[in-house]
Structure 1
Amino acid sequence: MTIQESSAQLSRRAWLGKVSVPALTLAAAGMISAKVPENAAKSAIYDVRDYGAKGDGKTLDTAAIQAAIDACNAAQGGTVLIPAGVFMSGTLQLKSNITFYLSAGGKLLGSPKREDYTAGKGVPSGNGNIVFLYAVNAERLSIEGKGSIDGNGLAFYNGKGDNTGPGQKGIDGNFDRPHLLIFYQCTELRLHNTFLQASAYHCIRLLQCKQVYIDGIRIYNRVNKNNDGFHFSSCQYVHITNCDVQCQDDACALFGSNKFVTVTNCSFSTRWSIFRFGGGESQNIAVSNCLIYDTYGCPIKISAGRASIENFSFSNIIMKNVTGPIGIGFSGTSNNNQGNNPPAGKSFIRNISFNGIRASVVAVPVPHPDIHFELNFKEGEKNSCITLNAMDDCYLENISFTDVHVTYAGGGTLAQAGKHDVPKIAAEYFGVWDTAPGGPPAYGLYARNVKGLTLQNVRFELENDDSRPAIVFENVQDAAINGLSVQGSTSAPSLLRIVNSKDLLFTATRVLTPCQVLLSLEGPSNEGVQIDGGDLRKAIKQVAYSGGANENSLKLRT
């Protein structure tokens, strides 16, 4: 310690010695009292029973619960308590500065009667705005506690969905049913530790919200069609952690212009997709440390007509029993059926990375035993693969796969592997293959119109024989493939198929099981294809040329 530091320390001690303890205590008390509202003497807990709620599971407690919410908001904040009991209600409006707390034995149960619900005041009508709980322009709003919110959604099942899928445009769709939660233009929204279940429609819709913190939420939503988990539209600064989601439709849909979103330490299962993106300017999104299981319709799905999508990271993800498992489709033309405004400038999808992925892919989707209605499976979902699909003058740019290991069920046929025109469909990954001969022409990865593709330590394996190539590239430019390990089959025409692509470098490639041909090079526009080293011993033949392919376009060094 220097002399100057010692002097300074002594001077502080001397100063403190001259200040009496009562003076400090009064000063501290003054600081605290300045922050306490005038009505602090009153209880900050607004127990809904004090406002007339019965909690018997039969009486409609809407008016009493809303009265507690209104009183809490009028007092500039506090906690609205749902104590032990079953409190049945219709539409409720949450407001600023409120913690809506569900005790461990408390359940908020949705009324089974449609007349007990209204549209949220000020909530946009897209995908319907009938709702159980909602908030508009609220700040510092929380829903917390180990109790539950039950939407009683089975009471609203009529066999019809909203028909907002590709090409349906919502025609004759069922929108007259309540979402569980809708938040519109809310700021500093927190959802903690609560169990949400059985919505009649989407579970949680967040529209144009900012500073959203979701932690420890459990969702079980499998009683009705379009039973989404989280559904975001144009939100910013969203952080989802430690959640468990089992639903029937999209588990975490992000439409519109979502930015600065993180999802980590969560588990998901659904019939359709987990992370679904489409349209708008969706940028700067990171997903990590997640478990995905029993999911069909593609766990990670990016499908856009016109969009500005960039800077997505998916890392440390385990997928068990899925179809897909990754699908990116892009047409660059308007495909706006979600009510989102397409970007005004040039559209793009770029800078997407997949790191540390382990996946097992089933041959066909498997019905979930706890979904009571029949699910239709698409032809293109069978024998699925990773799909990167752009078209015409549009490209996917800078897509990377690092440390990715996928085990496929196999069973693909020669008809699938045959040379045929792949339809130009980008709305859904499986839509690309619905009109093809029973599915995709590759068992591992199909890529079309991709610039800047990187594969580093990627391994594709099979449980059963497959008569398709492991990888098909069509019009792929600037690709670096290092440490690729793939299983082959003597029934497949080739292990790798490259069509009209250029500037591809394969290094340290390993052929794990025998195959007839290592590489099928097709088309007159191939250029700068190099295979440099590796373990290629199990390929009976190195190269086959067709469709006007030139031998000068390939450099092979074994």
Structure 2
Amino acid sequence: MKSHSLLLLAFLLYAFNGFGQRKDYRITAYGAVADGETNNAAAIQKLIDKVSATGGGRVIVPAGNFMTGSLYLKSGVELHIEKGGRLLGSPKRNDYSNKPSRPALISALNQTNVAIMGKGVIDGQGQELMLDIFRLLRSGEMKQDTIWRVKRPNDRVFLVFMLGCRDVRISGISLKNSSEWVQDYRQCTNVTIDRITVQSTAYWNNDGLDITDSRNVRITNCFINASDDAICLKSEDPAAICENITIDSCILRSSANGFKLGTASHGGFRNIKVRNLTVFDTYRSAIALESVDGGVLEGIDIQYVNAKNTGNAIFIRRGHRNNTAKVGTLKGVYIAHVTVETPLHKPDQGYPIEGPPDHLRPGEDKMPKRPSSFHIYGHPWLPYNLIPSSIVGVPGYPVQDVVLEDIAISYGGRANKSIAQIPLDKVTSVPENEANYPDFSMFGELPAWGFYMRHAEGIQFKNVRLRYVDEDFRPALVFDDVRNTTLTDVQIPTAKEMPVVLLNNTSNITTQHLKLPVDEAKGVQKTSYH
């Protein structure tokens, strides 16, 4: 007992020396000016450096508007923004450093025990900054690499960028108006993000929260409203991976995807646990899982997702975007307790940055232009029927071992044959698009209204309920090149035409307790088209 008391005393002394004596430093005492115009970067950075060098502490941003360019957090430093405090990003691009090639308002590079906390605001002033970036582009001071980046030029500025850091804490703050991804935690270990608010609809390509090739990450109780993906896990290094990630109790709104793994998927994703997501007014998929760059995607557990007014429910894609690399894996996925309402109207209409208008998809040369078509970025866009959820691999490389349990999806319906129709004996005409950017609309028109599955094996549907509001002429389910799949307690109460379920080039499809609008023997049509 005496030895235990001594150990406890030693720990308390260590904690007191390590944390109890950490000091608070207010930036106003070191020359920072709260006029919203003075660039305080030099004063704040000098203070951060001092605090780190003397053992750590809190650098406090008090109430007021403090403008700054690039800041670099150092080990042992908590940047604490008090209620009423606003850290404003400079509207001048030349006030930001490109070190280490990704310009950001706040960076941390290979640091330990860093934090950004408080009840204040970090505002990137993204619209004002973009005006200056375009001014620099027009004058030739900045160079543009490719034409397609007209609306997404290089050298836009992150709000937070952390690379190679350990023991990172982000809590309580609000992040607003980024011109680039809002925040990226790259190759970091032990990251905790809790109770943050992201309001970022000021510009394009501004993901709300990105985790790239990081391990041991916990994201909880966050509200994210972003023009691009709300929460997105990425893997850009073939030798690295996103692993041991937990996401819980977050509310997401996006003009892209709600929760996504990918698009970048070079190393991959393993042991990802997601719970209790609310997704609303989201243009693309509530859940998107993408392995297209040669990495692994396995050990994914997603439960309790409620999505309303969302353009697509579930998109799972094993692709081959880089034909010089191996085909990645996509297996071992469990998705359960999911409710999604997909409307007829455009789900993100009225937000500052929207997805393509009125559910449009890229036109193809073989498709005739209609009077309603128009051009975006020089490409014709044509209306399409609502796109179902999908699980799609590539020939010879199926999606494997996915379980969908307790899933309820409601679709607006109202598909129109005059817009597009894939005859049931032409289901193999859907393009493979192996190397295309993965997205729920990447195949164009699909022959199903509820779920489309191709190049897949070992898929289990358990207690899955699909319904439409208005009639749809397409089958509810279309499976093409599917093996070893079970449908248990699948309920499809509405159907306009037969078949309700179409199986093409399939084997070992087991059904139990199907609840279809007609007799099961008549409602399921097995075919083999060549």
TM over 0.5: yes
Amino acid in the other structure paired with 1:272: A
Q: Is the 8 A contact 1:487 1:513 kept in 2?
A: no
Structure 1 residues 126-525: aligned runs within 5 Å: 129-157=102-130, 173-256=152-235, 257-278=241-262, 279=265, 280-305=267-292, 306-332=294-320, 334=322, 347-371=328-352, 375-376=356-357, 377-379=359-361, 382-414=385-417, 415-419=420-424, 420=426, 421-426=429-434, 427-434=437-444, 439-490=445-496, 492-512=497-517, 517-523=522-528
Q: Is the 8 A contact 1:397 1:452 kept in 2?
A: yes
Cα offset for 1:363?
2.8
Distance 1:261 1:98 in 2: 24
Structure 1 residues 106-117: aligned runs within 5 Å: 106-117=85-96
Q: SS of the counterpart of 1:347?
A: coil
**CA offsets, 1:463-511, max 9 Å, x none?**
1001010000001111111111103333x24111000100011111112
Q: Percent identity?
A: 25
Distance 2:9 2:411 in 1: 67
Structure of higher CA gyration radius:
1
Question: 5+ residue gaps in structure 1?
Answer: 1-11, 17-23, 161-167, 337-341, 524-546, 549-558
Distance 1:30 1:522 in 2: 74
Indicate the larger mover: 314-323 or 275-284. Answer: 275-284
Q: Is the 8 A contact 1:497 1:521 kept in 2?
A: yes
User: Structure 1 residues 389 and 63 mapped into 2: Cα distance closer, same or farther (>3 Å)?
Assistant: same
Amino acid in the other structure paired with 2:328: S
Q: SS of the counterpart of 2:467?
A: strand
Distance 2:465 2:10 in 1: 66
Q: Is the 8 A contact 1:364 1:383 kept in 2?
A: no
Cα offset for 1:298?
1.4
Q: Is the 8 A contact 1:417 1:469 kept in 2?
A: no
Q: Which residue of 2 aligns with 1:536?
A: none
User: Structure 1 residues 397 and 462 mapped into 2: Cα distance closer, same or farther (>3 Å)?
Assistant: same
Distance 1:169 1:514 in 2: 56
Distance 2:45 2:507 in 1: 64
Amino acid in the other structure paired with 2:416: T
**CA offsets, 1:14-58, max 9 Å, x none?**
x99xxxxxxx99x999876666669988x7111101110111212
**CA offsets, 1:342-389, max 9 Å, x none?**
6x7x63100111100011012353344231578455327740111111
Question: 5+ residue gaps in structure 2?
Answer: 135-145, 236-240, 363-383
Distance 1:473 1:378 in 2: 25
**CA offsets, 1:59-84, max 9 Å, x none?**
22111111221111111100000011
User: Structure 1 residues 495 and 64 mapped into 2: Cα distance closer, same or farther (>3 Å)?
Assistant: same
Structure 1 residues 85-100: aligned runs within 5 Å: 85-100=64-79
User: Structure 1 residues 386 and 194 mapped into 2: Cα distance closer, same or farther (>3 Å)?
Assistant: same
Q: Is the 8 A contact 1:195 1:218 kept in 2?
A: yes
TM-score in terms of structure 1 length:
0.80
Distance 1:463 1:39 in 2: 58
Q: SS of the counterpart of 2:442?
A: helix
Q: Is the 8 A contact 2:283 2:355 kept in 1?
A: no
Q: SS of the counterpart of 1:296?
A: strand
Cα offset for 1:187?
0.4
User: Structure 1 residues 443 and 82 mapped into 2: Cα distance closer, same or farther (>3 Å)?
Assistant: same
Q: Is the 8 A contact 1:327 1:387 kept in 2?
A: yes
Q: Which residue of 1 aligns with 2:98?
A: 119
Count of aligned positions? 478
Q: Is the 8 A contact 1:499 1:522 kept in 2?
A: yes
Q: Is the 8 A contact 1:78 1:99 kept in 2?
A: yes
